[in-house]
Amino acid sequence: MTDSAAPPPHDPAGTDHPEPTTEPTTEPTTEPTTEPTTEPTSIAVLGAGIMGAAMARNLAQAGLDVRIWNRTRAKAAPLAADGIRVVDSPADAVTGAGVVLTVLHDGQATADVVAEAAGAFAPDAVWLQCTTAGLAGLDRLVALATEHGLTLVDAPVLGTRQPAEAGMLTVLVAGPEETRGRLAPVLAAIGSRVIWLGATPGAATRLKLVCNSWVLAITHGTAEALALAHGLGVDSAAFLEAIAGGPLDVGYLRTKAAAIEAGDLAPSFAVDTALKDARLIVDAGERAGVRLDVAAAGLDRLARASAQGHGGQDMAASYYASFSDGPPAG
């Protein structure tokens, strides 16, 4: 869910991580992604949205053989200028690919596309599943992989447009140990850090939902603080000055505040996509027997912002959900 500000607003921002290790472990481990252990592989990317297009470009720039499919071909067509083959069907993309990377809207879209292409997977292909699918969505994908004999690696990413374009994503990975060599050059191209979370798909998706719950909370907190400032006639610059340099002053707040003040809400992570993720978070809480009042309220805010016509704008447009008749003038 990133824009430009210091520190870079990765999702989540500014947390510590375990020391790098290459030893198998059931505990989270962080691996550097600069030393691929296998030769470049043929990669299929399914999905050419904000994340998929950026990831495909970085894979191609790393010298990998990349083909991409998107349901709307015109959206993928510009990637041909980057040396990426744009194909007409998911099966065309995955045929002969050593790694199939899915980065589609949700778990159901991913299941539909992979089911269509499953018969064309190479026997030794690795399915690197980067879509934020949620718990129920991942259950469907695990069942699909089992049905078709596919090797599934659960690998959602932290970061949005800017880190994706820079190849600076954090990749959360849970999958078979034997896939690490095959995946090394792919992970090196798309991310600056890889956090391995064991051999069973699911651990990465669960951590992604926790991280996204924090990202959405700080986004809504920023939106509401600015909305209240504007409603009370308080200069938002005075608010930012008051917290400057203290523990409550974070780069993500300043990035989203600047976007709201400038009215520059080009999507790094769109309201409607955040709305989808908010539903997954609330659903996960219900499954776990955990009451998530803030997440549920945030879900309502995103739904209101979308209904107001802001669905395609950056999720900072949650700001508009604070007003029934539009924000105060000036």
Cβ pair 118, 103 in contact under 8 A: no
Q: Which tokens sit at 180? A: 């690490």
Cβ pair 313, 267 in contact under 8 A: yes
Overall fold of domain 29-198: Rossmann fold (3.40.50)
* CA separation for the pair 248, 282 (Å, rounded): 26
Cβ pair 274, 216 in contact under 8 A: yes
As to burial, measured by CB atoms within 10 angstroms (0-12 exposed, 13-18 middle, 19+ buried), residue 35 is exposed
Cβ pair 167, 137 in contact under 8 A: no
Phi, psi (degrees; rounded to nearest 5) at 16:
-85, 155
Phi, psi (degrees; rounded to nearest 5) at 87:
-115, 170
* CA separation for the pair 109, 112 (Å, rounded): 5
Which sign, positive or negative, has the C-alpha torsion 87, 90, 92, 98? positive
- Residue ranges of the domains in the chain? 29-198, 206-322
The span from the first CA to the last CA of the chain, in angstroms, equals 29
Which numeric CATH code is attached to 206-322?
1.10.1040.10
Residue with tokens 């069973």: 200
Q: Provide the greatest CA pair distance for the chain.
A: 63
Pairing relation of β-strands 85-86 and 29-31? unpaired
Q: Which tokens sit at 302? A: 């995103």
pLDDT tens, per residue, the chain with 330 residues: 433 333 444 443 333 344 444 444 445 665 544 443 333 489 999 999 999 999 999 999 999 999 999 999 999 999 999 999 999 999 999 999 999 999 999 999 999 999 999 999 999 999 999 999 999 999 999 999 999 999 999 999 999 899 999 999 999 999 999 999 999 999 999 999 999 999 999 999 999 999 999 999 999 999 999 999 999 999 999 999 999 999 999 999 999 999 999 999 999 999 999 999 999 999 999 999 999 999 999 999 999 999 999 999 999 999 999 999 878 765
* CA separation for the pair 243, 232 (Å, rounded): 18
* CA separation for the pair 117, 115 (Å, rounded): 5
Cβ pair 88, 73 in contact under 8 A: yes
Rg of the chain on CA atoms, in Å: 20
One DSSP character per residue, 214-226 reads HHHHHHHHHHHHH
pLDDT tens, 105-143? Answer: 999 999 999 999 999 999 999 999 999 999 999 999 999
pLDDT tens, 217-248? Answer: 999 999 999 999 999 999 999 999 999 999 99
Cβ pair 108, 115 in contact under 8 A: no
Q: Look at residues 7, 17, 14 and name the one whose alpha carbon lies nearest to residue 194.
A: 17
Cβ pair 105, 131 in contact under 8 A: yes
* CA separation for the pair 291, 308 (Å, rounded): 28
Three-state DSSP at 293 gives helix
